[in-house]
Structure 1
Amino acid sequence: MIITTSQKASPTIKKESLELANSLGLSYVERHKKPISELFLVDNPIAVVSNKKLTIHFNEEQEHSFHLSMAQLRILRLERNEEDHLVRAIETLTHESSKHISIVDCTLGIGSDSIVIAYAFPNANITGLEASYPIWLSTWFGFRNYEHDNDVVTEALRRIEAIHCDFESYLSDLPDKSMDILYFDPMFEVPIEESPQFKPLRGHTFEGTIKRNVIEEAKRVSRLGFIIKERPFSSVFKDFPPTKWVGGKYSRIGYGVYRNEELQ
């Protein structure tokens, strides 16, 4: 993977891009007004930096840059005191400790869920894990540089620590009961009609699955419990029934809540 700049980048942007590449151990390539098509080497993605924005070009047809996606609408609903199912799922585990909890989003992706969590729990310590390096880089850069019209949302972004790692490796290195809550949003077993924001990522995501070993690790690592987002009839909920279900009456997806104190 290489880092370059937009064709009309200022000397400051070029300097910042070089420093970014060096800090990440990536190669920096001068753009020299070349089209993106001339910079591709085999299947290596290209990160293009412009003013406070980083765009990942997976190939000549697929590109992705950080945006709030559905988190924007969900935050607006929270501002109107409307319910968010993920927030409610977390609240079923936290009770009075919700202001000072540690939460690991094991499937960070484009960051929408972590953004909502950070906004709803401003004092929580939130870590997001993403196994796909290009997607992690885009989200990590967005958390650090994106500026929202609402300063509270910008502050929420800055509080999220994004780590490039798959959740199985990360969890295996954690001590027992070292995190309060874990959250998993794996690829659905039965896909729902693809959302527009995910189309540019097709073929470049890490499709981790929730198996028994993951469930056991989640029980070991989490102090309060963990949450899995899936469709109601998914095999994970049949094989590992949650202690509580959170979701709308007619929702195609929902949140299985696993309270450690209620698990066998």
Structure 2
Amino acid sequence: MIVTTARKQANALKEKAALCAAKLGARFVERQDRSLEALFAAYGEDVCIVGKERQTLYKYKEAVPFFYHPNASFIRYKQWQKTGTDPFIDAAGLSTGDEVLDATLGMGADAVMAAIAVGRTGTVTGLEASQPIAHIVSTGLKEWQEGNETFLQALRRVNVVNTGSAAYFQHMKDKSVDVVYFDPMFETKVASPGLEGLRHFACSETLTKSVLDDAKRVARRAVVLKGHWQSEQFARFGFTVNRRQHATFQYGVMEV
């Protein structure tokens, strides 16, 4: 992967881009007003473009960008403000002070909702196996500026760890968090233009019995699984699903 600056304010962004490259273990190159296609041709690698307000990833020879935007979580936050309910918060039974481990962070929408529910006295840790995704989402959570103070503080409270769940569980003590959450990405492919950029950098982690056993070991209260309504994983692993009518995705709960 190479890291470079946006075309505008390229000189002012050099230091920021160099720091980004160091974090990613990537190479910083001068933009020299080159197009994305020219960068692909010159270096033959994925590209990270550092701008004033966001960082954007491009898979080699792919035009679809991947960048952080809390659109899904903000919409859900506004709905939660109005109704006091959210499908994930309700399924997990989250309340102030809870400790939550999101074992499959992705874009972090559910982790943000968890941070809103557990408040300042709770904790939310999000695991992301893909280094590029972990970097982009972690940076976005820290730097996003739109929204009210409650929402922005929730973004800041999500602690992102770049690791897979199986490795992370090995170092956790029994009953160390209240809820463990899984959202196995792309088990069933659903058309979503907003996720196309993410797909290029995602690590596919299949939920296994051994990983689930570890999740049950470290959870004090419950393990929650999100899946497509047609998913066989709920029945396979023994999750209880309170079916939401007409919902594409459902939440299964396993009390421990």
TM normalised by structure 2 equals 0.90
Residue 250 (structure 2) aligns with: 254
What amino acid is aligned across from residue 50 of structure 2 in structure 1? V
Say which SS state the counterpart of residue 80 (structure 2) adopts. helix
Q: 1:184 deviation in Å?
A: 0.2
Query: Which stretches in structure 1 are left out of the alignment for 5+ residues?
Result: none
Describe the superposition over 1:63-120 as per-residue Cα deviations: whole angstroms up to 9, x where unpaired: 11111132122111101025211010121xx5xxx32222111111111111222123
* Deviation >4 Å, runs of 4+: none
One of 72, 75, 91 as aligned partner of 1:73? 75
Residues 22 and 246 (structure 1), Cα distance of their counterparts in 2 relative to 1, 3 Å cut: same
Q: 1:13 deviation in Å?
A: 2.2
Given that residues 177 and 223 in structure 1 are in contact (C-alpha distance below 8 angstroms), is that contact kept between their aligned partners in structure 2? Answer: yes
1:85 aligns with 2:87: yes
Write the distance in 2 (CA, Å) between the matches of 1:231 and 1:7. Answer: 41
What amino acid is aligned across from residue 227 of structure 1 in structure 2? V
User: How many aligned residue pairs are there?
Assistant: 252
Residue 141 (structure 1) aligns with: 139
Write the distance in 2 (CA, Å) between the matches of 1:172 and 1:233. Answer: 31
Describe the superposition over 1:208-248 as per-residue Cα deviations: whole angstroms up to 9, x where unpaired: 11121111111111122210011344222222222x42441
Residue 108 (structure 2) aligns with: 111
One of 61, 64, 88 as aligned partner of 1:62? 64
Say which SS state the counterpart of residue 39 (structure 1) adopts. helix
One of 215, 224, 239 as aligned partner of 1:218? 215
Given that residues 69 and 197 in structure 1 are in contact (C-alpha distance below 8 angstroms), is that contact kept between their aligned partners in structure 2? Answer: no
Residues 37 and 117 (structure 1), Cα distance of their counterparts in 2 relative to 1, 3 Å cut: same
Write the distance in 1 (CA, Å) between the matches of 2:198 and 2:137. Answer: 13
TM normalised by structure 1 equals 0.87
1:121 aligns with 2:107: no
Say which SS state the counterpart of residue 80 (structure 1) adopts. helix
Given that residues 129 and 203 in structure 2 are in contact (C-alpha distance below 8 angstroms), is that contact kept between their aligned partners in structure 1? Answer: yes
Given that residues 5 and 17 in structure 2 are in contact (C-alpha distance below 8 angstroms), is that contact kept between their aligned partners in structure 1? Answer: yes
Write the distance in 2 (CA, Å) between the matches of 1:160 and 1:230. Answer: 22
Residue 28 (structure 1) aligns with: 28
Say which SS state the counterpart of residue 214 (structure 1) adopts. helix
Q: 1:5 deviation in Å?
A: 0.7
What amino acid is aligned across from residue 83 of structure 1 in structure 2? T
What amino acid is aligned across from residue 125 of structure 1 in structure 2? T
1:201 aligns with 2:203: no
Residue 98 (structure 2) aligns with: 101
Say which SS state the counterpart of residue 128 (structure 1) adopts. strand
Query: Which stretches in structure 2 are left out of the alignment for 5+ residues?
Result: none
- Percent identical pairs in the alignment equals 29
Write the distance in 2 (CA, Å) between the matches of 1:257 and 1:136. Answer: 26
What amino acid is aligned across from residue 149 of structure 1 in structure 2? G
Say which SS state the counterpart of residue 34 (structure 1) adopts. coil
Describe the superposition over 1:145-203 as per-residue Cα deviations: whole angstroms up to 9, x where unpaired: 111131221111111111111111111222222222110000354433x1121122334
Describe the superposition over 1:8-61 as per-residue Cα deviations: whole angstroms up to 9, x where unpaired: 22544222222332344332212121222233333x321111113111111341
Residue 52 (structure 1) aligns with: 53
Residue 7 (structure 1) aligns with: 7
1:240 aligns with 2:237: yes
Residues 149 and 231 (structure 1), Cα distance of their counterparts in 2 relative to 1, 3 Å cut: closer
Say which SS state the counterpart of residue 175 (structure 1) adopts. coil
Quote the RMSD (CA, aligned, Å).
1.9
Say which SS state the counterpart of residue 99 (structure 1) adopts. coil
